[in-house]
Amino acid sequence: LSPDGRHLVVALEPKNADAGRGGKMPRFINESGYEDAEDVRTRVGRNPPVGQSLRLVDLAEGRVRALDLTTLPGIDVDPLAALRREHKQPALEGARPVRLIGLQFADDGTPLAMLRSVDNKDRWIVRIDRAQARLDTIHRLSDPAWINWNFNDFGALPDGRAWWLSEESGYSHLYVEEGRRPRALTTGRWEASQPVLDAARRHFLFLCNRAWPGDYEVCRVPVAGGEVRELTALDGVEDFALSPDGRRLALRWSAPFIPPQAAVVDVDGGEAVKLTDTRSSAFRAMPWREPRFVQVPSSDGAGTIWGKLYTPPRMEPGRTYPVVMFVHGAGYLQNVHQRWPVYFREQMFHQLLADRGYLVLDLDFRASEGYGRDWRTAIYRRMGRPELQDYKDGIDFLVADHQADRARVGIYGGSYGGFMTLMAMFKAPGVFQAGAALRPVTDWRHYNHPYTSNILDTPELGPEVYAESSPIEHAEHLQGRLLIAHGMIDDNVFFQDSVRLAQRLIELKKPGWELAGYPLERHAYVQPESWYDQYRRILELMDAT
């Protein structure tokens, strides 16, 4: 609804579109004592999102007009046409389907819309001409891999011009409309995110990681262009908000062993006033040791692989140490930074391991967040290959510089980290002596459509790509010891993935593996006993090997 109440912009979907066949997930523990089933999502390729059409509704006149999406530049060109021909799939007929992903209004009520192609190769920002019921394209972003699901902020300036974030330079930066060409307000090998206009609407405030990829501060840049200034020096700013009078910023900040806290700072910068410390006295009294931030050289020409290294309190000269490598989940997530990590439990576990004489290395492998577009899309149609090379480079780094024993290396992680643990154990046999794959994807053909089709396209457009990137297809190469741990009511990565892998390992007569199922757990565990059992098993695995 427009601010003046005059117009509506409406997105419509076909009423009887095929949503695809969903799954049934069994639940074995419940109050009835009988097993039952829960409806769960469909698999990739079984339910591609349907396209939408747009209508402009004039509420005063009671008039509904269609908005012509075929005027979007490039909408009639199929970026997957060559793959369709190669795999003998039907050619796409007509314009590519698109979906509305955002709508903003200028001060005068003019709608600005962000549209994305269903194949996720294009994103358009358009201005809707209410008088003519016409779309005028302001900006088009194309990516031969996939458009990021982050950095889609956009809006209107007081004079009606559009502003937006875009990765077109290779990093997320802030742009404003200037005639027929966009003007970049920020540039460089760093990322701008979460932009907002200040109270006077003369500056943008946003998060930036200019010093190094893991250092996040609040930055400011004039709308008219000019110097980018850092307003904070907290290293780990997570979020911010303007005060109602526009004079101060409320901050949420954190550090590796300090969970998120509140602070305030003047809108022109200066020393932040910290308002809270929610840590218990027992937690503060623990002898936490900050991880060391390290830069691992890439043998693939990818530059620097940033990591967190945990070492024993005292390293003895001439002695070599066993290694545990951690792989974060989500694929596109950043864990090497100066904030409180998503994996705060694992961070404590890593210190426990270091105290017991292990070197622990946690890498932001290729596909991780915070390092620009090329790092993000390095896994397009080859999941599991660049990331595994990054971990092998990590081993070389530890052996060369940190007294690591190449013959004693273990690896573990959950979700995407579980997938990568399996790839390490199956695709680099002998390099890793032990692995703990937690809630792992074992076959990408069974994961969801929005995530998987971005990275691997769909199974019919790359069956060989899915086979190469699915651990279950490489299980015959398993050496060493493998722990698989999975919540049995996981509605993200289904427990079925681990069950199917277990059957494959049985058929292959493989020794040295075990499957631990957690009947009351979904993808993210909630029972303390489950967390304890899982990490006890991981610790025992590493100690035994």
Q: Which amino acid, 252? A: R
- H helices of 36-105, in order, are 81-86
pLDDT of amino acid 19:
80
Tell me how far apart the alpha carbons of residues 481 and 425 are, in angstroms, rounded to a whole number. Answer: 9
Mode of pairing for the β-strands spanning 513-518 and 434-438: unpaired
DSSP 434-485: EEEEES----GGGS-HHHHHHHH--GGG-HHHHHHH-GGGGGGG--SEEEEE
Angstrom CA distances, 368 to 187, 306, 337, 458, 489, stand at 20, 10, 12, 22, 27
Is residue 305 within 8 A of residue 295, CB to CB? The reply is yes
Tell me how far apart the alpha carbons of residues 490 and 27 are, in angstroms, rounded to a whole number. Answer: 10
Q: Global pTM? A: 0.96
Kindly report the backbone phi and psi dihedral angles of residue 222, in degrees, each rounded to the nearest multiple of 5, phi listed first: -65, 145
pLDDT of amino acid 175:
98
Tell me how far apart the alpha carbons of residues 19 and 254 are, in angstroms, rounded to a whole number. Answer: 42
Is residue 426 within 8 A of residue 435, CB to CB? The reply is no
For 333-361, what is each residue's pLDDT tens digit? 999 999 999 999 999 999 999 999 999 99
Is residue 402 within 8 A of residue 359, CB to CB? The reply is yes
Kindly report the backbone phi and psi dihedral angles of residue 132, in degrees, each rounded to the nearest multiple of 5, phi listed first: -100, -5
CA angle 424, 426, 429 (to 5 degrees): 80
DSSP lists the bridge partners of residue 517 as 486
Strand 134-142: give its sheet, edge to edge: 98-105, 111-117, 122-129, 134-142
DSSP 130-141: TTTTEEEEEEEE
Q: Which amino acid, 391? A: Y
CA nearest to 216, candidates 198, 201, 200, 231: 231
Is residue 539 within 8 A of residue 508, CB to CB? The reply is no
For 269-294, what is each residue's pLDDT tens digit? 999 999 999 999 999 999 999 999 99
Is residue 228 within 8 A of residue 219, CB to CB? The reply is yes
Total Cβ atoms within 10 A of residue 58: 14
pLDDT of amino acid 59:
96
Kindly report the backbone phi and psi dihedral angles of residue 444, in degrees, each rounded to the nearest multiple of 5, phi listed first: -65, -15
| Number of helices followed by number of strands (H, E) in the chain | 10, 29
Tell me how far apart the alpha carbons of residues 300 and 198 are, in angstroms, rounded to a whole number. Answer: 43
CA nearest to 492, candidates 418, 423, 544: 418
DSSP 269-314: ----EE------HHHHHS---PPEEEEEEPTTS--EEEEEEE--SS
Token pair of 373, please?
């577009």
Is residue 371 within 8 A of residue 209, CB to CB? The reply is no
pLDDT of amino acid 17:
86
pLDDT of amino acid 325:
98
Tokens 């904070």 sit at which residue?
A: 232
pLDDT of amino acid 537:
98
Angstrom CA distances, 324 to 120, 350, 409, 421, 481, stand at 37, 9, 6, 11, 14
**Which residue pairs from 420-424 have beta carbons closer than 8 angstroms and sit at least 24 positions apart in sequence?**
420/327, 420/365, 420/384, 420/387, 420/388, 420/391, 421/327, 422/471, 422/482, 422/501, 423/384, 423/387, 423/388, 423/471, 423/474, 424/388, 424/391
Q: What is the pLDDT along the chain (545 residues), one digit of tens a residue?
A: 999 999 999 999 999 888 888 999 999 998 899 999 999 999 998 877 899 999 999 999 999 999 999 999 999 999 999 999 999 999 999 999 999 999 999 999 999 999 999 999 999 999 999 999 999 999 999 999 999 999 999 999 999 999 999 999 999 999 999 988 899 999 999 999 999 999 999 999 999 999 999 999 999 999 999 999 999 999 999 999 999 999 999 999 999 999 999 999 999 999 999 999 999 999 999 999 999 999 999 999 999 999 999 999 999 999 999 999 999 999 899 999 999 999 999 999 999 999 999 999 999 999 999 999 999 999 999 999 999 999 999 999 999 999 999 999 999 999 999 999 999 999 999 999 999 999 999 999 999 999 999 999 999 999 999 999 999 999 999 999 999 999 999 999 999 999 999 999 999 999 999 999 999 999 999 999 999 999 999 999 999 99
- H helices of 21-104, in order, are 81-86
Tell me how far apart the alpha carbons of residues 48 and 53 are, in angstroms, rounded to a whole number. Answer: 16
